[in-house]
Amino acid sequence: MKLKICAGSNCTLLGSLSILDQIDDLKEIISEDAENYRDEGLEVEVIKCLGYCKETNEQVAPVVVIDGEPMFNATSQAVMEKIVNKIRK
């Protein structure tokens, strides 16, 4: 599973670092309970601004791209749910 978390200015202002922290914590939850998760790698990459917020006046930050699909106004709980749904047995 591939996760890209935007660390552009707007996303950093509106909480992308806390999503990153929560995912670190989720990795711990997974490793403590490893037999219930598939052995699929969780690849987390911090990326530069993708420019979505500059194209619109709508609020989109923070942006997280999960397996190629962008999630706008991402929250840690929504991102973690996607990960867990995908890799929990």
Q: Which residues bind other proteins (CB under 8 A)?
A: 7-10, 12-18, 20-22, 46-49, 54, 75-76
Tokens found for residue 44: 């987390």
In the complex, least distance from residue 88 CB atom to other proteins, rounded to whole angstroms: 22
CB 17 within 8 A of CB 62: no
Instruction: Pick between residue 38 and residue 54 the one whose CB is nearest to other proteins.
Output: 54
Nearest distance, CB of residue 35 and other proteins, angstroms: 27
Are 16 and 7 spatial neighbours (Cβ–Cβ below 8 Å)? yes
Contact status, residue 9 vs residue 71, Cβ threshold 8 Å = no
Report residue 80 as tokens. 């973690």
Our CB check for other proteins shows the closer of 61 and 66 to be 61
Q: How far is the CB of 2 from other proteins (least distance, A)?
A: 17
